[in-house]
Amino acid sequence: MSSSSKSASARPARFKVGERVRVKDSPNLFYSRTQMYVRGVEGTIAMHTYQDLIPEDEAWNRDEAPQEQFYIVRFRQKDLWDGYPFENDTLQTELPDGWLEPVND
């Protein structure tokens, strides 16, 4: 994402690979990179990518904002699309820590 992030601090990663998470069902306001179709949906942490400014800060040049851990999150296509016909298909996308909440099974 940003090539010259100047953030002073980084929030610690809250999730481990394999953990179940749910994407926050927050409303769109002005700008986001969190796709509408993953909001409120449960998925699994597939990997950690990097720490960086979140898009909501970087897009307004809030370079001093704390960085967050980004993750590749894996979803079942059946959970994303109404009537999706195949059981095993998955979709992976990248999301920052703050957009995720823990799932307590």
Partner 1 sequence: MPARSELRDYYRIGAQLAPMQHQQEDWPYEISHGQYVAHMVPPHDVGGQPDTPVIYEEKEEEFWELNTYVTCEVLAWRGVWNAEERRRRGNNDLGQSLYYGFPYYGRWIWAAARMLVDKNHISLTELIEKVAEVRARYEQ
Contact residues for partner 1, defined by CB under 8 A: 1-4, 27-33, 35-37, 53, 55, 58-61, 63, 81
CB closer to partner 1, 19 vs 94: 94
CB-based contact 80:65 (threshold 8 Å): no
Pairing mode of beta strands 100-102, 68-76: unpaired
Pick between residue 36 and residue 47 the one whose CB is nearest to partner 1. Answer: 36
Residue 69 bridge partners (DSSP): 51
**Shortest reach from residue 38's CB to partner 1, in Å:** 9
Nearest to 60 by CA among 31, 94, 28: 31
CB nearer to partner 1: give 31 or 86.
31
